[in-house]
Amino acid sequence: MNKIILVLKREFLSRVQKKTFLLVTIGLPILICAIYAAIIYFSINNTSQTKILVVDNANIFKDSLPSNGDISFYFSKDEPVNTLKEKAEKKSLDGYIYIAAGASLSDSIQIVTGKKIGLITRQKIQDEINDRVKELKLASLPINQDSLKLAQKGSNISFENINDKNDSDIKAGISYGVGFGSGFLIYLILLLYGTAVMRGVMEEKTNRIAEIIVSSVKPFQLMMGKILGIGAVGLLQFIIWIVLGVGLRLILIPLLFPGAGHSISSQVEASGSTAQVQQILHAISGINFTMILSMFVVYFIGGYLVYASLFAAIGCTVSDGQQDAQGLQLPITLPIIFGFVIMMQAINNPTSGLSVFGSLFPLTSPVVMMARVAQGVPDAVSYWQLGLSILILFATFLLTTWFAGKIYRTGILMYGKKPTWKELIKWAFRKN
């Protein structure tokens, strides 16, 4: 055990003391925050509004076309077409609509633009005009407008869960986002840190440092020390990222946008959306984040240990670098990708048979179970399924560690021959 701790300490310190660790661990959150700050800044200060001049000589729009944040319509009369064309060519006009006298709502409408307008903006302009034309056409019909609005008004449809009185569309949407985010994060962790373990083993083997180390420690102790050391580095990175993320959010946003909080509160009060905000806060309070966070740590550790031992076994068999590793690691990366595919269904239907299977199968459970846990325990995943999944996951860790340790013992000192999967199985079941 002491030798495993020595190897763990060496792996941990050799990686943490590198400049690249500090650069990635501290620089990455700052970069992400800077990108988000830039996006928010340009969104707030966006002045690229498309202005369309409407010359309505037939008065079919009755001097009214709804504008939104990206598009605005303004009206004018008695402007000749040639003048409008010249202004558009000189780009003093974004665009114009010319409606000749005597035209009706049934006639076609042409929008002439002086600048390039993207597909989404075109669709928005068409939707605004079509909505207004439809409204005017309905208003011209000989029916009571109040009755028409009442008939067009949709029904208020809501869902109620017998076991969860706080269930709502808002809570379902937040659970969907949390489930996808946590499952995707586990998916990235398994790929990134698993391949980090494999590359670490490959480097020591190709540099022949492993030959010196195994003269002092057993191959299994070396493998376990490496897996635990790199895992500790990953945990440290996540803790730093969480602290930096919370700290930068509390410091950076008030610093860059000092009036943002007051402005948002004023807008919410002005728009009458206070009730909706309260609904969102109520939905967030109904999500068990303590359970989600604790399960994230459990499945992070379990999933990492299972896959890190398998990746370590692959790394010790490689003699000629990355090319050999690519062929052998494919059967290990496929279950991770398969887990991500099942997760996409689990966040929509957490109680389906495929979701239950994916959350119990140990090679996909770290990714899939996080999507189910976010939907609620025990509503979406029962306690026995959760306990059984964790039990199977850590039992699989013991099995894969035994399997990988057997391969590691032979493969770490073998050079010059690329082993087949049949030979790897023979190594695993070879007697001491």
Judge if 268 and 300 occupy the same domain: yes
Identify whether 425 is part of a domain.
Answer: yes
Q: Which residue has the tokens 């039992």?
A: 395
Domain count across the chain: 2
Identify whether 7 is part of a domain.
Answer: no
The DSSP result for 171-193, as a single string, is HHHHHHHHHHHHHHHHHHHHHHH
For the chain, give percent helix, strand, coil, nearest 5. Answer: 70, 5, 25
CB 319 within 8 A of CB 410: no
Judge if 370 and 279 occupy the same domain: yes
Q: Provide the CB-side half-sphere exposure for 112 (13 A, CA).
A: 19
The CATH number covering residue 77 comes to 3.40.190.10
Judge if 97 and 189 occupy the same domain: no
Judge if 218 and 134 occupy the same domain: no
Judge if 192 and 257 occupy the same domain: yes
Query: Phi and psi at residue 22, in whole multiples of 5°?
Result: -65, -40
SS3 for 95?
A: strand
Strand order in the sheet with 95-99: 71-76, 50-56, 95-99, 111-113
Give the Cα separation of 182 and 373 in Å (integer): 10
Judge if 296 and 403 occupy the same domain: yes
Q: Which residue has the tokens 């700050």?
A: 37
Question: β-strand 71-76 against 50-56: which pairing, if any?
Answer: parallel
End-to-end CA distance of the chain: 20
Amino acid at 47: T
Judge if 137 and 174 occupy the same domain: no
Query: Phi and psi at residue 90, in whole multiples of 5°?
Result: -85, 0
Judge if 189 and 280 occupy the same domain: yes
Tens of pLDDT along the chain (432 residues) come to 677 777 777 777 877 777 777 777 777 777 777 777 777 676 666 556 788 888 888 888 888 888 776 788 888 877 888 888 888 888 788 888 888 888 888 888 888 887 777 788 888 888 888 888 888 888 787 777 677 777 777 667 766 666 666 667 777 888 888 889 888 988 988 888 888 888 877 777 777 776 666 667 776 777 777 788 888 887 787 788 777 777 766 666 666 666 655 655 665 565 556 666 777 777 777 778 888 888 988 998 899 888 888 888 887 777 666 666 666 777 888 888 899 999 988 888 888 888 899 999 999 999 999 988 888 888 788 899 999 999 999 999 888 888 877 777 777 767 766 777 777 777 767 665
CB 407 within 8 A of CB 314: no
Range of the domain at 260: 167-429
Measure CA 396 to chain center.
28
Q: Cα–Cα distances in Å, from 76 out to 58, 63, 90, 98, 99? A: 12, 9, 19, 10, 11
CB 94 within 8 A of CB 52: yes
Judge if 64 and 135 occupy the same domain: yes
Measure CA 93 to chain center.
40
Question: β-strand 71-76 against 95-99: which pairing, if any?
Answer: unpaired
Residue 176's contacts (CB-CB under 8 Å, 6 or more residues apart) are 347, 348, 374
Helix (H) or strand (E) run with residue 163 in it = none
Q: What pLDDT is recorded for position 402?
A: 80
Identify whether 20 is part of a domain.
Answer: no
Judge if 128 and 174 occupy the same domain: no
Q: What pLDDT is recorded for position 273?
A: 61
Identify whether 185 is part of a domain.
Answer: yes
Judge if 111 and 176 occupy the same domain: no
SS3 for 73?
A: strand
Identify whether 225 is part of a domain.
Answer: yes
Identify whether 160 is part of a domain.
Answer: no
The pTM of the full predicted model, rounded to 2 decimals, is 0.68
- Report H helices in 71-213: 81-89, 119-139, 145-152, 169-206, 209-213
Angle, CA of 135, 137 and 140, to the nearest 5°: 110
Question: β-strand 111-113 against 71-76: which pairing, if any?
Answer: unpaired
Question: β-strand 111-113 against 95-99: which pairing, if any?
Answer: antiparallel
Identify whether 317 is part of a domain.
Answer: yes
Judge if 251 and 342 occupy the same domain: yes
CB 181 within 8 A of CB 292: no
Residue 219's contacts (CB-CB under 8 Å, 6 or more residues apart) are 405, 408, 409, 412
Domain boundary among 111, 144, 177: 144
Q: What pLDDT is recorded for position 361?
A: 92
Q: Which residue has the tokens 């409606």?
A: 99
Identify whether 29 is part of a domain.
Answer: no
Query: Phi and psi at residue 55, in whole multiples of 5°?
Result: -105, 95
CA-nearest of 310, 308, 368 to 337 is 368
Q: Provide the CB-side half-sphere exposure for 29 (13 A, CA).
A: 18
Q: What pLDDT is recorded for position 260?
A: 57
- The helices-and-strands tally (H runs, E runs) of the chain is 16, 4
